[in-house]
Every structure is written in C-alpha cells, then in structure tokens.
Amino acid sequence: MHDCSAAHITPESRLGELLERWPHLEAVLVEISPHFRALSNPVLRRTVAKVATLRQVSTVSGVPLGVLIERLRAGAGLPPLAVAEASGDAPAARPTWAVEGRVAHTRDARAAIGAGEHPLPQVMADLAALADGQVYLLLTPFVPAPLADLAREKGFRSFSVVESDDLVRTYFTKDETAAPRP
C-alpha cells in the first residue's frame, strides 16, 4: 500500500521527497527556472532540498507558487490543484533594522555553496553569538528560505534583497517580540 501523502504535490510538500518519488521532475524544475540547476550540487540536494517546502522553493526561485505547483503536478501526471498565492510573508518595504550601517558581522557563503558545502551550521553559530540590536548579513546566490525559517524558529527576523541572479543579501536580527521555540 502506498503512502497517500507522497502522491500529493502541495505548497507544503518537501522538494527532496518529490524528487525521490519522481526523479524526472528535476528536469521540469530546470525548465521552469535556471535557479534549479543548483539541485545538481550534491550538498544542496542532500540538505536544502530535503527540508525545503515548495512554498520556500517558490520564494527562493522567484517562481510563483501556483505556477510551480501546476507544472510539477502536470509533470507527475497529477490533476491540477488550486493554490492561493501567499499574501506576502515578507515585508513589502525594507525594515529599518535591515541596513548596512547596522551590520555587525557579514558572511559570504557563495563560494562555500558553490563548492558543495552547506553554511547552515556556521550561520546558526554566528546568529547565536549576535548581540541584541546587532544585524547579521548573509550573502548567498539565492534566497535562503529554509535557513531563514529555521532562524525565525530560533527567535530571529530576516529580510532578503535579491540584487542579481547570483547575489542575495539576507539580513538577520534578534526578534525582541518573539521567544525562540525549543
């Protein structure tokens, strides 16, 4: 008997699980956006792809969630699914704290990611050492949505600015309004 949940492709589906079930969907993803060529990086495939939801993948790639779900479902031979686009999880305007002048520490993770390394452990250690009111800047080749979600669970706010196809600036600061989840 098959696991019924594995046969669904929804905004909360994990990319890694979909690619395990339907390996040919990688070609569909690359056809949708060149951002998905990064899936050939074995470290990203083993780490980010395993935990990233399609909602996060939509944010990272800039591909509208509805388009992403529609194309993946079609590629998997599943019927269409109506998907409401997010009403804007990210702030519309840059927060006052997300500015260069407040940055206490910067990590450029682009070379490490390009070499197949995952910056998550170092970034989380850097964030843990961040003092109240300080801002941390992470440079990546894509929006680090899964990492930002994990940081949010640990009591941080984030804001990303896509500057080019290979440069995203993501600012982090402690969220004084939220207690970290255990």
pLDDT by 10s per residue, the chain, length 182: 334 444 588 888 988 889 989 999 989 998 888 778 877 777 677 777 777 888 888 877 778 888 899 999 999 998 887 776 554 444 457 888 988 889 999 999 999 888 888 888 999 999 999 998 899 999 988 778 788 888 999 999 998 887 777 788 999 999 876 555 55
In sequence order, what are the residues at sequence separation of 6 or more whose Cβ sits closer than 8 angstroms to the Cβ of residue 71?
28, 31, 32
Q: Which CATH architecture does the domain made up of 100-174 adopt?
A: 2-Layer Sandwich (3.30)
CA dist 175 and 155 (Å) reads 6
CA dist 106 and 170 (Å) reads 10
In sequence order, what are the residues at sequence separation of 6 or more whose Cβ sits closer than 8 angstroms to the Cβ of residue 29?
36, 39, 72
Sheet of 135-140: strand order equals: 103-108, 135-140, 167-174, 156-164
Q: Report pTM.
A: 0.63
State which CATH number among 1.10.3470, 3.40.50, 2.40.330, 1.10.3910 fits the domain covering 4-75: 1.10.3910
The pLDDT of residue 30 is 87
Backbone angles phi, psi at 71, to 5 degrees: -70, -40
Contact 36, 26 (CB under 8 A): yes
* 87 CB-side CA count, 13 A: 0
Domain boundaries, the chain: 4-75, 100-174
